[in-house]
Amino acid sequence: MVVRQLRSLARDRPLKPSPPGPIFTGIGGWVFPAWRGGTFYPAGLPQREELAHASRQLGCIEINSTFYRAQKPAVYAQWREQTPPGFRFSAKAPRTVTQSHDLAAAGARADGFIQGISALEDRLGPLVWQFGEKHPAGAQEFDRFLEALPRRVGGRALQHALEVRNAAAWTPELIAVARAHGAALVFSGSPDYPSFADPTASFIYARLMQSRANLRAGYPERTLEQWCLRAMRWARGEDNPDLPHVAAEPEPSGPREVYVLFIGAAKHRNPGAAVALRRQLKQVGA
């Protein structure tokens, strides 16, 4: 039944539709020993070639190391050269910014990170600002924080995504703030963190964290088909009412870019999940 829905959604479009936005499937990082030896990377592949290989199997990789230490612009430029056109890096912003309880000066502290990572140029995707379960910020603090962040760098628009892990911060006011600034609120597909799917920006950022070790693709096929359907709806500017929401009514939207990344949990299965979802999307013409 889900497969029929996918095919119907792919062909059932208005006579003069806006084309849907692109859908990027991916993983967190690209250096992981369990992905070697044929699990994801071909046996014998030199480690220096792993990024090039991964970026041709996936649409996006989230850079996790930037949460701990920013790289020099020359390193980002080198990573860019190893990846094909159309590929995107997302990146976790430095914890020195997001773990501070005082966000008043966070925008200024973020400038160096943003200027450096702009060396990725057209490969740069969303910047993920992850705030922990005990971070006290509410809607007003996030409003001031987003106001201080640059909207553009090097002539290109920036995509900011807030991952807010404090359940108390998820209020209608937070949804309104994110929409006012065009920032996405990360859908954390995890039972351990708030997981709300209110669309707030021209892109969607979902971090799915429930891969299972006993499944080659991490998730049951039917579950991946459901995520394929949801990604297509988001890309067309529609909502997914089957997922939890905070606000009663979603905002009308045009086509969106959609990022679906498989993170954590049974990490050795995440590339299989991302590749399987990408394959499903191609099969239905998304």
| pLDDT tens digits, one per residue of 66-110 | 999 989 999 999 999 999 999 999 999 999 999 998 888 887 789
Task: Match 């008043």 to its residue by tokens.
Answer: 104
The burial class, CB within 10 Å (0-12 / 13-18 / 19+), for 148 is middle
By C-alpha distance, which of 269, 264, 240 is closest to 92?
A: 264
Q: Specify whether the CB–CB gap between 24 and 258 falls below 8 A.
A: yes
Residues 6+ apart with CB under 8 A from 164: 131, 135, 137, 142, 170, 174, 185, 186, 194
The band of 3, judged by pLDDT with boundaries at 50, 70 and 90, is: low
What token pair was written down for 197? 């799917």
* DSSP three-state, residue 81: helix
pLDDT at 125 over 50: yes
Q: Specify whether the CB–CB gap between 115 and 152 falls below 8 A.
A: no
| pLDDT tens digits, one per residue of 196-236 | 999 999 999 999 999 999 999 999 999 999 999 999 999 99
pLDDT of residue 18: 80
User: Listing from the earlier edge strand, what are the strands of the sheet with 160-164?
Assistant: 184-185, 160-164, 124-131, 88-92, 60-63, 23-28, 257-262, 203-208, 187-189
Domains within the chain, CATH numbers bracketed = 21-283 (3.20.20.410)
pLDDT at 131 over 80: yes
pLDDT of residue 57: 98
248-265: average pLDDT: 88
pLDDT of residue 102: 86
Task: Match 């590929």 to its residue by tokens.
Answer: 87
50-59: average pLDDT: 98
The band of 4, judged by pLDDT with boundaries at 50, 70 and 90, is: low
The band of 14, judged by pLDDT with boundaries at 50, 70 and 90, is: very low
Q: What is the pTM of this model?
A: 0.93
By C-alpha distance, which of 283, 268, 277, 276 is closest to 41?
A: 268
pLDDT of residue 211: 97
* DSSP three-state, residue 200: coil
Residues 6+ apart with CB under 8 A from 155: none
Mean pLDDT of the chain: 93
| pLDDT tens digits, one per residue of 140-165 | 999 999 999 999 998 899 999 999 99
